Amino acid sequence: MPLSPSSTRALLAQLAHFPRRALGQNFLVDGNIVRKSLELAEVDAENVIVEIGPGLGTLTTALLESGAEVWAVERDPRLHQYLEETLLPRFPKTLHITLGDAVELPLAGLPPERSRELFKIVANLPYAISTPWMDAVLSGPLPQRMVLMLQREAAERYAANPGSKAFGAISIFLQSAFDVAPGHAVSSACFHPRPEVDSCLLHLVRRSRPVVFPSANRDFIRALFQQRRKQIGSLIRERLPDRGTAWLAILAEHGLTPQARAEEIPVHVWQNLVQPPA
């Protein structure tokens, strides 16, 4: 079972550790949310799981007790040491924990030969790294499924529909590779210390034919969204003066005029624009 708020405070005091807002250290203290995370991810003893920021090990312990093999990356040296001393002796064959930055190690050190197998990501994701980490994950290899605890604002960006203010480049990249399945709302009361905003368990299932955007195309699309209120025709003519006509022809085939804005273009149309026309 997860630590209660009082036992979490006691353990943090024992470790002389003060939760760091910069690292998104809000520790889960609700057993129902832990169970829901495993349920959505369909975790079983055959699974290889990547976890980001295990903290005090509440979710990690549940994953390991299910029989899954867990690869985790923790940035905080004190918490990393605590997990090595408490969890590693209990699960020496199935826990692999690395001290490091999740943006640099988006799959927590899972070896390349293992990442070609089916694996899942289950994580309480710090808000500050959510988008750069997701961008790294979407470069591939892709997990079979992801269940991510996110601040609601980040979850809304990932799942946003075209035409909404939340829709952006990361929405396109993620929805091209994953279907957004029903998730679960999470109250701020489920954490210690209590964050100022509510969170969401975002449930993502890899598409049967995922589209992975090459790095150059991701950079190009991000640049277009940096001027999201500008008409797409003007942006294309500025940035692709020799090739813009071909892009505009593709947009026209989908009923979009040069007056459309980037946020109004559906995900499937962006997929047709993966390679800038030669």
- Per-residue pLDDT tens over the stretch 221-237: 999 999 988 999 999 88
Confidence at residue 24, expressed as pLDDT on a 0 to 100 scale: 66
Same domain, 127 and 257: no
First-to-last C-alpha distance (Å) of the chain: 57
**Structure pTM?**
0.90
Angle value at C-alpha 203, between 199 and 98, nearest 5 degrees? 80
Same domain, 74 and 193: yes
Domain membership of residue 185 (yes or no) is yes
Cα separation, 223 vs 169, in Å, equals 9
Same domain, 67 and 147: yes
Lowest mean pLDDT among 116-130, 180-194, 238-252: 238-252
Same domain, 128 and 220: no
Using the 3D structure, point to which of 206, 226, 256 is the last residue of a domain: 206
Same domain, 35 and 93: yes
Same domain, 183 and 234: no
Using pLDDT thresholds of 50, 70 and 90, give the confidence band for residue 23: low
Give me the CATH number covering residue 171: 3.40.50.150
Listed in order, strand segments (DSSP E) in 80-226 are 95-99, 120-124, 145-151, 178-186, 191-192, 199-206
Residue 82 has pLDDT above 50, yes or no: yes
Same domain, 150 and 174: yes
Report how many domains make up the chain. 2
Domain membership of residue 170 (yes or no) is yes
- Per-residue pLDDT tens over the stretch 147-160: 999 998 899 999 99
Same domain, 32 and 156: yes
Same domain, 86 and 192: yes
Q: Calculate the average pLDDT of the chain.
A: 89
- Write the DSSP symbol of residue 120: E
Domain membership of residue 278 (yes or no) is no
Strand order in the sheet with 199-206: 95-99, 69-74, 48-52, 120-124, 145-151, 199-206, 178-186
Task: Please compute the mean of the pLDDT values over residues 5-26 and round it to a whole number.
Answer: 76
- Per-residue pLDDT tens over the stretch 261-276: 999 999 999 988 765 4
Using pLDDT thresholds of 50, 70 and 90, give the confidence band for residue 240: confident
Domain membership of residue 22 (yes or no) is yes
Residue/partner pairs of 185-194 with CB below 8 Å, 24 or more apart: 185/152, 186/30, 186/33, 186/149, 189/30, 190/28, 190/29, 190/30, 190/33, 191/26, 191/27, 191/28, 191/29, 191/30, 192/5, 192/8, 192/9, 192/19, 192/26, 192/27, 192/29, 193/19, 193/26, 194/26
Residue 85 has pLDDT above 90, yes or no: yes
104 three-class SS: coil
Residue/partner pairs of 89-98 with CB below 8 Å, 24 or more apart: 90/64, 91/64, 94/64, 94/67, 94/68, 94/69, 94/70, 95/60, 95/64, 95/70, 96/69, 96/70, 96/71, 96/72, 97/54, 97/71, 97/72, 97/73, 98/71, 98/72, 98/73, 98/74
Confidence at residue 278, expressed as pLDDT on a 0 to 100 scale: 43
Domain membership of residue 68 (yes or no) is yes
The answer to whether the CB of 139 falls within 8 A of the CB of 60 is: no
Confidence at residue 238, expressed as pLDDT on a 0 to 100 scale: 87
Domain membership of residue 232 as a residue range: 215-272
What tokens appear for 209 in the block? 């034919």
Task: Please compute the mean of the pLDDT values over residues 49-67 and round it to a whole number.
Answer: 95
Angle value at C-alpha 234, between 217 and 247, nearest 5 degrees? 45
Residue 171 has pLDDT above 70, yes or no: yes
Confidence at residue 256, expressed as pLDDT on a 0 to 100 scale: 93
Confidence at residue 57, expressed as pLDDT on a 0 to 100 scale: 92
Confidence at residue 177, expressed as pLDDT on a 0 to 100 scale: 96
Domain membership of residue 277 (yes or no) is no
Confidence at residue 183, expressed as pLDDT on a 0 to 100 scale: 86
Same domain, 47 and 181: yes
Using the 3D structure, point to which of 206, 224, 254 is the last residue of a domain: 206
Same domain, 117 and 237: no
- Per-residue pLDDT tens over the stretch 95-124: 999 999 999 999 999 999 888 889 999 999
Domain membership of residue 115 (yes or no) is yes
Using the 3D structure, point to which of 171, 206, 241 is the last residue of a domain: 206
Confidence at residue 22, expressed as pLDDT on a 0 to 100 scale: 65
Give me the CATH number covering residue 229: 1.10.8
Confidence at residue 276, expressed as pLDDT on a 0 to 100 scale: 47
